């Protein structure tokens, strides 16, 4: 936080743009990410190695980190852990398909979300937006008590769940599960995180609990539970409560 | 005689000894007759010379003993820091082997080769450190005095009356590539001693006057000169042999030396070694175990082990035989192995024993035929206590003596009844019967007691005057004598029968153990089973836990878990590693790293070391008994044979797998190169069109080109993903991580994967039993479903519906993907799952891999997949997956509180 006054001095000319640090060893990835992100109003920092990434992160204190998991000089998981020792900036990890275990490990180590290569720009921007908003909420220590998307309305203050204006009846655990996903709306939440928050630390390996309750929840919430639009499965990783309609809504 | 007479063993041993000499590092020994002749000085002088020539010389260990002229020679040489060891509170310094291995100089100086390392060092002796350094490719120069040579140990002791405890095996000296004799006339040495220029260790100082007598020094000098000359002679012979000069090639001599229990045989072994060295002969130390040895105390058996070990360390071979008669067994072995000489110790027992038991010496000499028999002195060495001969060994359990007492009492009772009806002398037979019974039942000691008691009872109760020990008639005296002698003979014979039976039983048990193990191994096909069988058999045979470590992939030792195996910690693993790398025993009860808690034996098959077996005795004491150790070695050898078989099979399988993968890769590459090029061509074409500056493109055209790039890139991405999946599948690297998942979740995830691509079609999903779960790998099954849906999308016209139907019973989960496309060409139903199969009229862009991957995944789950045409047109692909048991129970919610009801 000590870096903040310095930064505001530098940024006096334009509106404060969020800084994204890209830690990625492939130059062609950085080549397309930089203009694409700058076009969206982000300030972009680049690092090609884990070591440089950590140095840049500590000297510039970026608002967002985009981290490739396959770095030549150390694994991204380690970078995630090291960053989390002192920084709360959201980390979005990027990895290849088939590395589900790595993604889960990075998410459990404190990363906020992930993208699988190849990914499209809209997907990347959506992830960054969600991560940014979530970080802002954590900083301000306020959670929007009402979640609304695709006809679903969850009021955390009154513990009411409405679907197209109709009150839904959820069991205690179903509600707890939904409320947890609402708090992380738009972000992927790993099986482990969900099990820990809803069932407690001793149940982190009982993924069948989660699967059964998630199916029940879908049948109550989704229009077509076999083609979910709200409670989507990130296979091998976890679940996501899609909140894009909220993100796109005018503030 | 021609070289054809040599048996193959001898040839192999010669080859091995040559291999040993072909160590990567070279050993040079500065050899002297006595302390003070200037070995260290000569070595340092030569080292300085080497250094000035630019050689990388490092001093590993040199003690100048404060002599300034020697210390001056250390100037400019790099000194390796010494290892600081502490033993019983005394700080000690040792050669740091690890530091030397790390530093890897071209030449390392290590003084005093015969030094014994302090407790806790890697090796017990410094020469073992040096061997390791040589193996690592470091040249070593060292110093040694003649009295430290193992085979000359006795001779030196005879000359000087001082027994040197620190010895090195002759084989070490033989392996030296160069020996430099450092010679000083005795007068000059005595002069130097007077000037205080000779350093002597404290314990030797008392003996100085005695040791440095001119007579001693002359004798020692002669010994040193002769040893060096022998060595030169050997070098000449080796040269002749290498160059095919065979006319003076001596007959292949083979010497057998027979060692027995007791301390005397060490000297015999050394004599054999000297004789063998002189004749350039092979020699073998033999121990013949005869039935009566079964009752030898442990201490004597340990002597045998020690002698055999000594023989091994002196470069001899070792054999343990068992038989009824030591002489016959020895001679049979000698003939079988073409021995030319047999060396025996002088008998140390009295002659009457030979009279009863037969003399080994006599037997061997009579039966030796053309084999020369040498008899060497078997005087006890100093410090070794004479033990009573084994014949007087009356160790039996007290209960046996009570039994003997009871038998005599019963005989007395019977005799009492018979008395009066029979002649008094006939009663003797009853007592003899009792003595015989006791001998058979309880062994020698009790039967001798019975014989004596019998005589006494007979005299007291039945010989007139009765109830006194007085004998009235002289006629009874021979009766007593005969009674006693017969009793003794019977007891000896009976005891021998008993011992033979016991030896036979032990032999049978040994054979049975090995036989059972061989049978067990015959069925074991893989390394894990063999390891488990080995650990199990060792536990049965030796009553202690063991562990098997196998070297796979060029030397990384991995522990093979077995039921009763013990876990190896870091320290123990290092000991095991040493045993593996050096193909020698290490750990508890050996000379290398004896501080370990277990004994490690290399598992050797032929020239190859496959791994290590570790054994930890149940009582934590070292395994010293010769027969138990041999049992362990025999088991290890059998295990090694089986292991080699299994490892070879494993390797063959891996090679086959690699070949298959390689073949697949080639096929894949040639098959998909076209499929890879097409989308790339579209991407490059579109991109260049967009970059053309003339502005001829309309906005919709530009959008169209951009979309082409996107579509083709995505297509390429799918293709690459499929290629990777296929390669992984074929390489057998597919790990199935099963979890309990509802199929609805997998179907849902697969459909979400397609995003808006399915918006143009009707997709019907029907799932019976929403929360029925199956134990499958969700990631892989989703991939299979994605491929099936992709296939349906690609092969059917836009707008036609797709259906997904899932049903589940207790055993099987069935999923069908149905379409209303053109269906499958007749006869291709089974082939659609083959790699690179493409239906006629398939849209360009399919790789022919999607369905093959699908089948791979489903088959890996133990399921089935099939495709057929649908009634009314279209295709149905049906996959069946085993549910995998009963899903775990989900605890019910207790309070059942619902939202919306509980509020307010």
Chain B residues with CB under 8 Å of A97 CB are: 721
Chain A residues with CB under 8 Å of B752 CB are: 227-228, 232-233
Chain B residues with CB under 8 Å of A161 CB are: 899-900
B277 and B247 Cβ atoms separated by less than 8 Å: no
**pLDDT attached to residue B50:** 87
* Residue A80: band (very low, low, confident or very high) from pLDDT cuts 50, 70, 90: very high
Q: Least CA distance to B782: which residue of chain A?
A: A235
B378 and B266 in one domain?
Answer: yes
Does B778 contact A225 at a Cβ distance shorter than 8 Å? no
Give the residue-averaged pLDDT of B683-696.
83
Chosen domain end from B367, B390, B413? B390
User: Is position B664 within any domain?
Assistant: no
**pLDDT attached to residue B352:** 61
* Residue A46: band (very low, low, confident or very high) from pLDDT cuts 50, 70, 90: very high
**pLDDT attached to residue B596:** 85
Give the residue-averaged pLDDT of A207-217.
91
* Residue A246: band (very low, low, confident or very high) from pLDDT cuts 50, 70, 90: very low
**pLDDT attached to residue B818:** 93
Give the residue-averaged pLDDT of B112-122.
85
Does B765 contact A207 at a Cβ distance shorter than 8 Å? no
Partner A contacted by B202 (CB < 8 A):
no
B121 and B587 Cβ atoms separated by less than 8 Å: no
**pLDDT attached to residue B513:** 81
Lowest mean pLDDT among A15-24, B357-366, B711-720, B870-879: B357-366
State both tokens at B6.
């040599």
Mean pLDDT estimate for chain B: 79
Is the pLDDT at B838 greater than 70, yes or no? no
DSSP notation for B283-314: EEEEEEE-GGGGGS-HHHHHHHHHHHHHHHHT
Domain span(s) for CATH 3.40.50.2300 in chain A: 4-140
Partner A contacted by B902 (CB < 8 A):
yes
* Residue B846: band (very low, low, confident or very high) from pLDDT cuts 50, 70, 90: low
Lowest mean pLDDT among B77-91, B243-257, B706-720: B243-257
Of A228, A218, A213, A215, nearest to B748 by C-alpha is A228
B527 and B483 in one domain?
Answer: no
Percent of chain B with pLDDT over 90: 9
Which range of residues forms the domain containing residue B760?
734-882
Q: What is d(CA A95, CA B894) in angstroms, rounded to the nearest whole number?
A: 42
How far away is chain B from the Cα of A239, in angstroms, using its nearest Cα? 10
Partner A contacted by B637 (CB < 8 A):
no
Q: In what order do the strands lie in the sheet with B546-552?
A: B556-560, B546-552, B608-615, B599-605, B586-587
Of A130, A89, A94, A124, nearest to A110 by C-alpha is A89
Is the pLDDT at B341 greater than 50, yes or no? yes
User: Is position B358 within any domain?
Assistant: yes
CATH fold for the domain made of A4-140: Rossmann fold (3.40.50)
B208 and B65 in one domain?
Answer: yes
User: Is position B516 within any domain?
Assistant: no
B340 and B268 in one domain?
Answer: yes
Higher pLDDT, A1 or B602: B602
Is the pLDDT at A90 greater than 50, yes or no? yes
Residues of B numbered 700-729 whose beta carbons fall under 8 angstroms of chain A's beta carbons: which are they?
713-714, 717, 721, 724-725, 728
B488 and B550 in one domain?
Answer: no
Q: Distances in Å between the alpha carbon of B574 and those of A136, A153, B276, B534, B586? A: 54, 64, 37, 21, 10
Give the residue-averaged pLDDT of B441-466.
83
Give the residue-averaged pLDDT of A47-75.
90
B862 and A137 Cβ atoms separated by less than 8 Å: no
**pLDDT attached to residue B316:** 78
The residues that bridge with B881 in the sheet, in sequence order, are: B813
**pLDDT attached to residue A191:** 93
Partner A contacted by B773 (CB < 8 A):
yes
Is the pLDDT at A4 greater than 60, yes or no? no
Q: What is d(CA B547, CA B598) in angstroms, rounded to the nearest whole number?
A: 10
* Number of domains chain B is built from: 5
B376 and B405 in one domain?
Answer: no
**pLDDT attached to residue B898:** 61
Helix (H, G, I), strand (E, B), or coil: what is residue B712?
helix
Give the residue-averaged pLDDT of B638-660.
84
Domain of B373: which CATH number? Answer: 3.40.50.620
Domain of B156: which CATH number? Answer: 3.40.50.300
SS3 percent helix, strand, coil of chain B, rounded to 5, is: 50, 15, 30
Of B553, B542, B523, nearest to B598 by C-alpha is B542
**pLDDT attached to residue A55:** 93
Parallel, antiparallel or unpaired: strands A160-163 and A113-116: unpaired
Is the pLDDT at B21 greater than 70, yes or no? no
Is the pLDDT at B574 greater than 70, yes or no? yes
From A100, A171, A227, residue closest to B898, measured CB to CB? A171
B163 and B14 in one domain?
Answer: yes
Q: What is d(CA B788, CA B786) in angstroms, rounded to the nearest whole number?
A: 5
Give the residue-averaged pLDDT of B877-890.
89
Please count the residue pairs, one from chain A and one from chain B, whose beta carbons lie less than 8 angstroms apart. Answer: 103
Does A159 contact B899 at a Cβ distance shorter than 8 Å? yes
User: Is position B569 within any domain?
Assistant: yes
Of A80, A89, A108, nearest to A188 by C-alpha is A108
Residue indicated by tokens 């080497």: B50
Domain of B561: which CATH number? Answer: 3.30.450.40
Is the pLDDT at B242 greater than 70, yes or no? no
Give the residue-averaged pLDDT of A15-19.
77
Give the residue-averaged pLDDT of B853-879.
90
**pLDDT attached to residue B564:** 61
Is the pLDDT at B802 greater than 50, yes or no? yes
How far away is chain A from the Cα of B897, in angstroms, using its nearest Cα? 6
**Which of B229-238, B251-260, B711-720 has the largest mean confidence?**
B711-720
CATH hierarchy code of domain A146-248: 1.10.10.10
**pLDDT attached to residue A65:** 95
Chain B residues with CB under 8 Å of A118 CB are: 713-714, 717
* Residue B847: band (very low, low, confident or very high) from pLDDT cuts 50, 70, 90: low
Looking at residue B250, the DSSP 8-state letter turns out to be P
From B770, B896, B903, residue closest to A171, measured CB to CB? B896
Residue length, chain B? 904
How far away is chain A from the Cα of B572, in angstroms, using its nearest Cα? 32
B62 and B13 in one domain?
Answer: yes
Is the pLDDT at B728 greater than 90, yes or no? no
Partner A contacted by B774 (CB < 8 A):
no
Chain A residues with CB under 8 Å of B725 CB are: 98
Residues of B numbered 800-859 whose beta carbons fall under 8 angstroms of chain A's beta carbons: which are they?
804
How far away is chain B from the Cα of A214, in angstroms, using its nearest Cα? 9
Is the pLDDT at B188 greater than 60, yes or no? yes
Does A170 contact B899 at a Cβ distance shorter than 8 Å? yes
Percent of chain B with pLDDT over 70: 86
From B725, B765, B782, residue closest to A235, measured CB to CB? B782
Domain span(s) for CATH 1.10.10.10 in chain A: 146-248
**pLDDT attached to residue A58:** 92
Q: What is d(CA B252, CA B6) in angstroms, rounded to the nearest whole number?
A: 6
Q: Distances in Å between the alpha carbon of B817 and those of B34, B761, B827, B854, B879? A: 94, 14, 20, 12, 9
Helix (H, G, I), strand (E, B), or coil: what is residue B874?
coil
């Amino acid at each position: 936080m000590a870096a903040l006054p310095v930064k505001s001095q530098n940024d006096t000319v334009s509106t404060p743009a969020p800084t994204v640090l890209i830690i990625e060893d492939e130059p062609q990835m950085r080549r397309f990410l930089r203009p694409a992100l700058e076009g969206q109003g982000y300030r972009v920092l680049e690092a090609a190695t884990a070591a440089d990434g950590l140095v840049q992160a500590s000297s510039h204190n970026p608002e967002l980190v985009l981290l490739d998991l396959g770095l030549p000089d150390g694994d991204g998981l380690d970078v995630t852990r090291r960053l989390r020792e002192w920084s709360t900036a959201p980390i979005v990890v990027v990895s290849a398909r088939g590395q589900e275990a790595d993604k889960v490990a990075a998410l459990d180590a404190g990363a906020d979300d992930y993208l699988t290569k190849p990914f499209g720009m809209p997907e990347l921007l959506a992830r960054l937006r969600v991560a940014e908003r979530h970080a802002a909420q954590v900083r301000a220590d306020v959670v929007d008590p009402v979640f609304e998307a695709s006809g679903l309305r969850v009021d955390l203050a009154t513990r009411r769940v409405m679907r197209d204006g109709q009150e839904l009846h959820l069991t205690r655990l179903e509600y707890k599960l939904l409320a947890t996903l609402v708090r992380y709306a738009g972000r992927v939440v790993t099986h482990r995180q969900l099990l820990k928050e809803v069932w407690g630390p001793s149940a982190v390996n009982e993924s069948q609990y989660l699967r059964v309750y998630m199916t029940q929840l879908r049948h109550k919430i989704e229009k077509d539970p076999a083609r979910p639009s709200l409670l989507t499965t990130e296979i091998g990783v976890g679940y996501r409560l899609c909140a894009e309609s909220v993100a796109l809504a005018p503030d | 005689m021609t070289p054809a007479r040599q048996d193959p063993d001898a040839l192999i041993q010669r080859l091995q000894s040559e291999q040993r000499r072909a160590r990567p590092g070279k050993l040079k020994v500065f050899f002297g007759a006595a302390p003070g002749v200037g070995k260290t000085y000569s070595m340092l002088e030569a080292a300085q010379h080497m250094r000035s020539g630019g050689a990388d010389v490092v001093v590993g260990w040199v003690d100048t003993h404060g002599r300034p002229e020697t210390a001056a020679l250390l100037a400019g040489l790099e000194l390796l820091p010494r290892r600081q060891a502490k033993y019983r509170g005394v700080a000690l310094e040792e050669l740091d082997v690890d530091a030397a291995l790390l530093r890897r100089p071209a030449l390392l100086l290590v003084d005093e080769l015969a030094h014994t390392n302090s407790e806790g060092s890697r090796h017990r002796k410094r020469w073992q450190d040096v061997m390791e350094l040589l193996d690592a490719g470091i040249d070593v120069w060292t110093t040694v005095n003649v009295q430290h040579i193992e085979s000359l140990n006795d001779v030196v002791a005879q000359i000087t009356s001082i027994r040197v405890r620190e010895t090195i095996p002759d084989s070490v000296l033989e392996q030296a590539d160069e020996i430099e004799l450092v010679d000083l006339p005795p007068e000059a040495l005595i002069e130097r001693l007077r000037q205080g220029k000779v350093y002597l260790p404290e314990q030797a100082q008392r003996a100085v006057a005695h040791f440095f007598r001119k007579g001693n020094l002359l004798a020692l000098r002669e010994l040193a000169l002769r040893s060096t000359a022998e060595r030169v002679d050997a070098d000449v012979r080796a040269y002749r042999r290498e160059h095919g000069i065979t006319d003076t090639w001596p007959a292949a001599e083979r010497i057998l030396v027979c060692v027995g229990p007791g301390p005397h045989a060490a000297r015999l072994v050394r004599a054999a070694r000297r004789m063998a060295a002189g004749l350039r002969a092979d020699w073998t130390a033999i121990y013949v175990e005869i039935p009566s040895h079964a009752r030898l105390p442990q201490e004597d058996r340990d002597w045998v082990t020690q002698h055999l070990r000594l023989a091994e360390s002196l470069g001899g071979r070792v054999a343990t035989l068992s038989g009824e008669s030591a002489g016959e067994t020895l001679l049979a072995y000698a003939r079988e192995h073409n021995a030319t000489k047999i060396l025996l110790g002088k008998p140390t027992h009295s002659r009457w024993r030979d009279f009863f038991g037969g003399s080994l010496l006599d037997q061997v000499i009579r039966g030796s035929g053309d084999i020369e028999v040498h008899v060497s002195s078997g005087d006890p060495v100093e410090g070794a206590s004479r033990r009573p001969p084994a014949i007087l060994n009356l160790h039996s359990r007290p209960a046996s003596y009570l039994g003997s007492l009871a038998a005599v009492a019963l005989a007395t009772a019977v005799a009492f009844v018979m008395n009066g009806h029979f002649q008094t002398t006939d009663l003797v037979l009853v007592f003899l019967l009792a003595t015989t019974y006791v001998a058979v039942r309880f062994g020698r000691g009790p039967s001798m007691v019975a014989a004596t008691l019998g005589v006494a009872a007979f005299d007291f109760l039945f010989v007139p005057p009765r109830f006194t020990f007085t004998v009235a008639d002289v006629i009874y005296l021979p009766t007593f004598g005969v009674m006693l002698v017969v009793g003794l003979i019977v007891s000896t014979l009976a005891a021998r029968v008993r011992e033979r039976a016991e030896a036979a039983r032990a032999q049978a048990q040994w054979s049975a153990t090995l036989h059972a193990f061989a049978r067990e191994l015959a069925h074991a096909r893989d390394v894990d089973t063999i390891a488990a069988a080995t650990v199990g058999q060792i536990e049965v045979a030796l009553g202690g836990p063991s562990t098997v470590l196998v070297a796979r992939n060029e030397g990384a030792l991995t522990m093979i878990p077995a039921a009763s195996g013990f876990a190896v910690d870091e320290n123990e693993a290092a000991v095991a590693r040493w045993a593996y790398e050096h193909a020698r025993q290490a750990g508890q009860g050996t000379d290398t790293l004896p501080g370990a808690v277990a004994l490690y034996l290399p598992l050797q098959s032929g020239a190859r070391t496959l791994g290590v077996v570790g054994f930890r005795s149940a009582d934590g004491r070292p395994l010293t008994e010769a027969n138990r150790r041999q049992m362990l070695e025999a088991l290890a050898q059998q295990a090694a044979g089986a292991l080699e078989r299994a490892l070879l099979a494993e390797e063959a399988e891996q090679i086959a797998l690699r070949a298959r993968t390689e073949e697949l890769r080639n096929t894949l590459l040639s098959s998909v190169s076209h499929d890879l090029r097409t989308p790339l061509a579209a991407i490059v074409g579109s991109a260049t069109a967009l970059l053309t500056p003339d502005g001829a493109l309309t906005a919709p055209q530009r959008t169209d080109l951009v979309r082409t790039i996107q579509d083709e890139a995505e297509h390429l991405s799918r293709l690459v993903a499929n290629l990777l999946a296929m390669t992984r599948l074929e390489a057998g690297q597919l790990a199935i991580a099963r979890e309990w998942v509802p199929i609805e979740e997998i179907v849902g995830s697969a459909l979400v994967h397609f995003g808006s691509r399915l918006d143009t079609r009707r997709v019907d999903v029907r799932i019976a039993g929403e929360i029925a779960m199956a134990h499958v790998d969700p990631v892989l099954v989703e991939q299979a479903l994605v491929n099936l849906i992709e296939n349906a999308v690609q092969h059917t016209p836009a707008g036609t519906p797709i259906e997904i139907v899932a049903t589940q019973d207790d055993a099987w989960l069935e999923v069908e993907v149905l379409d209303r496309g053109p269906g499958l060409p007749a006869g291709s139903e089974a082939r659609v799952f083959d790699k690179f199969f493409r239906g006629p009229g398939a849209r360009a862009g399919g790789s022919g891999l999607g369905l093959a991957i699908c089948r791979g995944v489903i088959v890996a789950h133990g399921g089935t997949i099939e495709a057929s045409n649908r009634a009314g047109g279209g295709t149905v692909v049906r996959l069946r997956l085993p549910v995998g048991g009963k899903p775990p129970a989900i605890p019910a919610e207790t309070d059942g509180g619902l939202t919306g009801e509980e509020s307010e």
